[in-house]
C-alpha cells in the first residue's frame, strides 16, 4: 500500500473511550495492518475471501465478541464497535464476514436457541472452527422480508424446508445456516421461525454469486432448499415472528454503523496524505488549494459527527436503552457519509483514485453494497420517519 494509515481524530475522540476500549481498538488495528492490508488488494482482484485470517480472528475474540460465555470475549458494545470499525477500515467484505458470524448466526443461537444448540455451536463458532450464514433475504423479497416464500412444514419429529435465499454472505463456506421460514402455524404474524440447517443435509445447495463489482473479498451465495429434512430440535425455540430476524439485523446494523466510520477514515486519511505530497500548479501541493481543502474539511467534519453518533448509540446499547430507530439513524447516516467520503477522496486522487495502489475505489465499490444491505438507505429513512411522526409509511 502506497500510504500507511495514521489514525483520524480531530476532536480528541480517543479521550471519550476507556482504556479498555482503546486497547481493543489498537489490537484490532494492528491485526488489520499486519495481516489484512498487505493482501487485501490481491484478494479483491481475485475475488478471494482471505480464509487464512479466520482462525487468527477467532483467537483474538472477534467472533461473537459481545456475547457472554461459550468462550466468547464478552466485550462491551462499544468495544465490539471499534473492532468492526477497524475491520471495515481494512475491507467491508471482511467486516461483513465477522458481522454475519457474530450478529446474524451466533446471536440468534444465543438469543433464541436451546441449551443444546448453544453448547453445540457457539464454542466452535467463537473459535472459527465452524462457520455460519443467515438466510432471510430471498430473490423476490429484500426490503419486505415478511413476504418470504420459504416454508417449513412439520412432519412427525421433523421439519421439511423448501425455498430460495439470495445474497447470502458466507453461504457456500458455512457449516450451518440460520434459515428463516414460514411454518404452517395458523397465526400468520407469528409463523416466521428460525431453523438451524446443517449445510451437508440432502436437498441443501449453496452456489456462489460471481460477477460482483463490490464486496469481492467476501463470499456471497444463493441458497436452495428442496425438501430439506431437519429434526424438530433444530427449530430455534425462542424465535417467533418477524421480530426475531429483525433483532438479529439490529445487531448487524450496529456493527455496520461503526464499520462505515472505518472505511471513511481510510479514504480520508489516504486523500489527505496524497494531497500533501501531490504537486501541481507552481510546484505546490494540491492541499494548498481551496477546492481541495473544502473537500477535506467536509470529510473530517462528517467523520467526526459520525464518530460521536455511533459512540452514543453504543453507550445506549451498553445501558440497554438503545432503540432500533437509533441504530437505523447511525447506519443510514454513517454509510451515506462514508460513501460520500470515498467519492470525494477519489476526486482528490484523480486518475490514481481508480488504481488499487490506493484503497479508495475498493472502499467506494464496497460501500455501494453496504448502503443497500441490512436495510436500504430509504428503508432506514422510513424507520426514522415512523419514529418521529408515529405514522408508518411502508
Q: Kindly give the confidence (pLDDT) of every residue in the chain, 394 residues in length, as a single tens digit, with 9 standing for 90 and above.
A: 468 999 999 999 999 999 999 999 999 999 999 999 999 999 999 999 999 999 999 999 999 999 999 999 999 999 999 999 999 999 999 999 999 999 999 999 999 999 999 999 999 999 999 999 999 999 988 888 888 999 999 999 999 999 999 999 999 999 999 999 999 865 655 689 999 999 999 999 999 999 999 999 999 999 999 999 999 999 999 999 889 988 888 889 999 999 999 999 999 999 999 999 999 999 999 999 999 999 999 999 999 999 999 999 999 999 999 999 999 999 999 999 999 999 999 999 999 999 999 999 999 999 999 999 988 999 999 999 999 999 999 8
Can you tell me the distance from the alpha carbon of 369 to that of 338, in angstroms, rounded to the nearest whole number? 12
Can you tell me the distance from the alpha carbon of 233 to that of 158, in angstroms, rounded to the nearest whole number? 8
Can you tell me the distance from the alpha carbon of 133 to that of 191, in angstroms, rounded to the nearest whole number? 21
Q: Which helix (H) or strand (E) holds 165?
A: strand 158-169
- Sequence-separated (6 or more) residues with CB below 8 Å from residue 348: 271, 274, 275, 286, 292, 295, 296
Looking at residue 66, its pLDDT comes to 95
Looking at residue 87, its pLDDT comes to 98
Cα-based distances in Å from 227 to 145, 155, 163, 166, 194: 21, 11, 9, 18, 17
In a 13 Å sphere around the CA of 85, the CA atoms on its Cβ side amount to 28
Quote the distance between the C-alpha of residue 71 and its chain's center: 22
Closest by alpha carbon to 337, among 298, 292, 297?
A: 298
Looking at residue 144, its pLDDT comes to 86
374 is annotated as an active-site residue: yes
Q: Which fold has domain 132-234?
A: Butyryl-CoA Dehydrogenase, subunit A; domain 2 (2.40.110)
The dihedral over CA atoms of 50, 361, 103, 377, expressed in degrees to the nearest 10, equals -160
In the chain, CATH 2.40.110.10 covers 132-234
Looking at residue 385, its pLDDT comes to 95
Cα-based distances in Å from 391 to 146, 263, 385, 387: 19, 34, 8, 8
CATH, range 243-389: 1.20.140.10
Grid coordinates representing 269 are 486519511
Looking at residue 260, its pLDDT comes to 98
Grid coordinates representing 216 are 469481492
Residue 198, phi then psi, degrees to nearest 5: -65, 135
Grid coordinates representing 74 are 464478552
Can you tell me the distance from the alpha carbon of 23 to that of 261, in angstroms, rounded to the nearest whole number? 18
In the chain, CATH 1.10.540.10 covers 13-126
Q: 13-126 falls under which CATH superfamily? A: Acyl-CoA dehydrogenase/oxidase, N-terminal domain (1.10.540.10)
Q: Are 100 and 249 in contact (CB under 8 A)?
A: no
Closest by alpha carbon to 36, among 102, 95, 104, 82?
A: 95
Q: Are 127 and 55 in contact (CB under 8 A)?
A: yes
Amino acid at each position: 500500500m502506497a500510504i500507511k494509515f495514521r489514525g483520524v481524530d480531530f476532536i480528541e475522540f480517543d479521550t471519550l473511550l476507556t482504556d479498555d476500549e482503546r486497547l481493543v481498538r489498537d489490537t484490532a488495528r494492528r491485526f488489520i495492518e499486519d495481516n489484512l492490508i498487505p493482501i487485501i488488494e490481491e484478494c479483491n482482484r481475485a475475488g478471494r475471501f482471505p480464509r487464512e485470517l479466520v482462525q487468527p480472528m477467532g483467537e483474538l475474540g472477534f467472533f461473537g465478541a459481545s456475547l457472554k460465555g461459550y468462550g466468547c470475549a464478552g466485550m462491551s458494545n462499544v468495544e465490539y464497535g471499534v473492532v468492526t470499525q477497524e475491520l471495515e477500515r481494512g475491507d467491508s467484505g471482511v467486516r461483513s464476514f465477522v458481522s454475519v458470524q457474530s450478529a446474524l448466526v451466533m446471536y440468534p443461537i444465543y438469543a433464541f436457541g436451546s441449551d443444546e444448540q448453544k453448547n453445540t455451536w457457539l464454542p466452535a463458532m467463537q473459535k472459527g472452527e465452524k462457520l455460519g450464514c443467515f438466510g432471510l433475504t430471498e430473490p423476490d423479497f429484500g426490503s419486505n422480508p415478511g413476504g418470504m416464500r420459504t416454508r417449513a412444514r412439520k412432519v412427525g419429529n421433523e421439519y421439511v424446508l423448501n425455498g430460495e435465499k439470495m445474497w447470502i454472505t458466507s453461504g457456500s463456506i458455512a457449516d450451518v445456516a440460520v434459515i428463516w421460514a414460514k411454518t404452517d402455524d395458523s397465526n400468520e404474524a407469528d409463523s416466521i421461525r428460525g431453523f438451524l440447517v446443517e449445510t451437508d443435509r440432502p436437498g441443501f445447495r449453496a452456489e456462489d454469486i460471481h460477477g460482483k463489482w463490490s464486496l469481492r473479498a467476501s463470499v456471497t451465495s444463493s441458497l436452495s432448499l428442496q425438501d430439506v429434512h431437519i429434526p424438530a430440535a433444530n427449530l430455534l425455540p425462542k424465535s417467533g415472528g418477524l421480530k426475531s430476524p429483525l433483532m438479529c439485523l439490529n445487531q448487524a446494523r450496529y456493527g455496520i454503523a461503526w464499520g462505515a466510520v472505518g472505511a471513511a477514515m481510510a479514504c480520508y486519511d489516504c486523500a489527505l496524505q496524497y494531497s500533501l505530497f501531490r504537486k501541481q500548479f507552481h510546484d505546490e501541493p494540491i492541499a494548498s488549494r481551496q477546492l481541495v481543502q473544502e473537500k477535506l474539511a467536509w470529510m473530517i467534519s462528517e467523520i467526526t459527527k459520525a464518530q460521536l453518533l455511533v459512540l452514543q448509540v453504543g453507550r445506549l446499547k451498553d445501558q440497554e436503552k438503545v432503540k432500533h430507530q437509533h441504530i437505523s439513524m447511525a447506519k443510514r447516516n454513517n454509510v451515506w457519509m462514508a460513501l460520500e467520503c470515498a467519492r470525494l477522496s477519489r476526486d482528490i486522487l484523480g486518475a490514481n483514485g481508480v488504481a488499487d495502489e490506493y484503497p479508495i475505489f475498493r472502499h467506494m465499490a464496497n460501500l455501494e453494497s453496504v448502503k443497500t444491505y441490512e436495510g436500504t438507505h430509504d428503508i432506514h429513512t422510513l424507520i426514522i420517519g415512523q419514529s418521529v411522526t408515529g405514522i408508518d409509511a411502508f
